[in-house]
Amino acid sequence: MIIKTNSRLPVSAADSFAKYPVLPLMTGVLFPGTVFSIQIGRPENIEVINLYQKNKKKFITSYSHAEVETPKDPPIHQVGVFTIVRDVSEGPGGSKIVTLEGLKRVSIKEIVATEPYLVAVAAEIQLPQFISRNIKRKTEEVITIVQEITQLDPVYSPELLNIIKMNMEDPSLLADRIASTFHFSLAAKQELLEAVNLEFRYERLLHYLNEELNRVATVLSINQKVKKRIEEEQHKAYLRQQLHEIKKQLGEDFTEEKEAARFRNLIKSSPDLPAEVIVRAKTEVDRLSQLSAASAEYGVTKLYLDWLLNLPWGKNTTENYNIADVQKVLAEDYYGPDSLKEQILQRLSVRKLMGGKEEGSTLCLVGAPGTGKASLAKAIAKALGKDFIRISVGGISDVSDIKGTQRTFLGAYPGRIIRALKDAGAPDPLILIEDIDYFNLDNDSSVNMALLDVIDSRRNAHFLDHYIGIPFDLSKVFFICSVRSLEEIPEQFIPRLEIIELPGYIEREKITIAKKYIIPDLLKKHGILKSEFRIYDKTLTRIINNYTQEAGLLSFSQQIEKIYRKIALEKAEKKKKYWTVSEKNLESYLGTPLYIPEKAETMPEIGIAAGLAWTGSGGELMFIEGLKMKGDGQIITTGSLGEVMKESIQAAYSYVRSKADILGIDFNDFNDFDIHIHFPSGAIPKDGPSAGVTVSLVIASVLSERPIRNDIAMTGEVTLRGRVLAVGGAKEKISAAYRAGIYNVILPKENEKDIKELPREILRKTKFTFIERVDELFELCLLDFTPSTYSLEKIFAEEIKKAKRKKKSAKRKPHANAARSRHKK
Q: Could you tell me if 608 and 623 are in contact, meaning their C-beta atoms sit under 8 angstroms apart?
A: yes
Residue 62 CB coordination number (10 Å): 28
Helices 338-353/323-333 angle, 10° precision: 150
b/e sequence 569-602, b meaning 16+ C-beta within 10 Å: eebeeeeeeebebeeeebeebbeeeeeebbebbe
The three-state secondary structure class of 365 is: strand
- 402, 419, 389: which is closest to 310 by C-alpha? 419
Inter-residue contact 400 to 392 (CB < 8 Å) = no
CA distance 376 to 381: 9
CA–CA separation, 98 and 116 (whole Å): 19
What residues contact 102, with CB distance under 8 A and at least 6 apart?
30, 31, 32, 33, 34, 35, 36, 61, 81, 82, 83, 176
The strand pair at 608-615 and 618-630 is best described as antiparallel
Say if residues 682 and 642 touch (Cβ distance below 8 Å).
no
CA quadruple 566, 570, 571, 576: dihedral sign: negative
Q: Which helix or strand (DSSP H or E) is residue 472 part of?
A: strand 471-472
Per the CB < 8 A criterion, the answer to whether 164 and 177 are in contact is: yes
Element (H, E) at 772: none
Please answer whether residues 645 and 613 qualify as being in contact, where contact means their C-beta atoms are separated by less than 8 angstroms. Answer: no
Residue 474, helix vs strand vs coil:
coil
Q: What interhelical angle do 643-658 and 692-704 show, nearest 10?
A: 40
Active site residue 566: no
- The contacts of residue 642 (CB under 8 Å, 6+ apart) are 685, 686, 687, 688
Neighbours of 82 (CB within 10 A): 20
Of 62, 403, 733, 735, which is the active-site residue? Answer: 733
In the chain, the amino acid numbered 16 is S
Q: Distance between CA 442 and CA 322 in Å, rounded?
A: 44
d(CA 358, CA 350): 8
Strands 119-124 and 635-638: unpaired
How buried is 234 (Cβ within 10 angstroms: 0-12 exposed, 13-18 middle, 19+ buried)? exposed
Q: Which of 482, 648, 690, 696 is catalytic?
A: 690
- 19 flagged as catalytic: no
Pairing of strands 579-581, 533-535: parallel
Q: Which helix (H) or strand (E) holds 270?
A: none
Helices (H), strands (E): how many in the chain? 29, 26
Query: Is there a contact between 259 and 288 (Cβ–Cβ < 8 Å)?
Result: yes
First to last CA, the chain: 101
Catalytic residue numbers read: 690, 733
